[in-house]
Chain A
Amino acid sequence: MASLKDLRDRIDSVKSTQKITSAMKMVAAAKLRRAQEQAEASRPYANGMDKVLASLASSAKDTAGAPALLAGTGKEDVQMIVLCTAGRGLCGGFNTSLTREAVRLGKEHQAAGRTVKFICVGRKGIPAINRNFPGAIVETFLDIDKPKLTFSKAAEISAKILEMFDNQDFDACTLVYARFQSAIAQIVTAQQLIPFAVEETGDSEDAGGASASYEYEPDQGEILADLLPRNLSVQIFKALLENAASEHGARMSAMDSASRNAGDMINSLTLLYNRSRQAQITKELIEIVSGAEAL
């Protein structure tokens, strides 16, 4: 059986672990709030973009010579998967579930005889992708949230994607990220970026009516060509913000349960410690008494 000193040491060590986890939980909560505010602030822009794009795209999609970003290249032989994970661990199953989804998508494409390439945003997705698809990672973006997640970082990523698309390095591009639902629920989402999937809104009649009466300057096609690359950055920025909020939410709940586990462990160790201490005192008493009797 462990000596009293061993028990004391273990209790101390669990206590300091608990201090760390509860501090991390508090930090994650603060960061989560900030990430949510940022996501909130970016919404008007994304909504405006969506609205204009929807009215433009619905009329342009069927016409010949629609931009490749909207209509696709006509093939789907090479698939690009952009995987957004966290830069750090200790956030429960967050990174694992994102990576699992990306690997599943990749295997699906491979089974259909297509080539798969990856762009990893955030450090944590890289090892698993390398293991499952050796040499498939073409680009990585690390530490995008340091010191702060800004639109220019998202623009950098989209510029790289566009450059590769222009070089015809891939035909279709999918973004894998975690949509933020609540601090305890994050939904792993695969969103098609290229060709861009225009959301079919229920009030398409309204949009159609509005688009018919717009004047376009310079003209519809040029605006669309200008808008689509911008939209890519916006979509990526939105996904990164959601992902950041999800990461902090996941870390918060992971650290919360870790702190609770540490508390349980401290309780049971303290109980064990007190029992052993009492047992030792009793043993010493018995020894003294029986020693005195023997005289």
Chain B
Amino acid sequence: MADTTEFELVSPERLVASEQVAMVVVPGAEGDFGVLPQHSPMISTIRPGVISIYSNDTTNVSSKIFVAGGFAEVVGDRCTVLAEEAVAVSDLDAAAAKDRLSAAESALSSASSDGEKNAAVRELAIANAMVSAAV
């Protein structure tokens, strides 16, 4: 049995990460889930949050990456995450995230149509997750 999983994080513009990991914890739409080797095949949507990568063992986090939603596909020894926005947590700017949060809040309060409101709610969730990740 293989003791590592091949983890790939892909954004529309580039391949963000591709490495062998012991475990990866993904913020699924219905709760975080950890992917260990031999995970059963699944597809899940992702809420805005932080992906934790455990590259050597399952106790120490080696890197964290913020994603703004997307979906994950797990097959056998491979875990592919397709994310629309992916930034390493260490590169997150707390001030910029707060700016984005307040911009999203004002967009929500001024939204007139349902479409605008939905977009604002989504943006607000992303900004919220970003702020809590950046601290």
Q: Which residues of A contact B (CB under 8 A)?
A: 38, 41-42, 44-46, 48-49, 51-52, 56, 150-151, 154-155, 159, 162-163, 166, 210, 213-218, 222-223, 226-227, 230, 233-234, 237
Contacts and interface: CB of A to CB of B under 8 A. Distances in A.
Contact of A150 (B13, B41, B71): B13
A217 B40 CA distance: 12
5 contacts: A38-B13, A44-B15, A52-B43, A151-B84, A215-B40
B8 interface: yes
B10 interface: yes
B13 A41 contact: yes
A42 B10 CA distance: 9
* Nearest 4 A/B pairs, CB to CB: A215-B42, A217-B44, A151-B12, A41-B14
Interface in B36-50: 40-45
B45 A222 contact: yes
- The interface centre, meaning the residue of B11, B12, B42, B45 with most chain A CB atoms within 10 A of its CB, is B12
Interface residues of B, number: 26
B12 A48 contact: no
B13 to A, nearest CB: 5
A223 B15 contact: no
Contacts of B40: 215
Contact of A218 (B13, B14, B45, B70): B45
Contact of B41 (A49, A162, A210, A223): A210
Contacts of A42: 12-14
B80 interface: yes
B30 interface: yes
Contact of B80 (A48, A155, A213, A227): A48
A241 B127 CA distance: 28
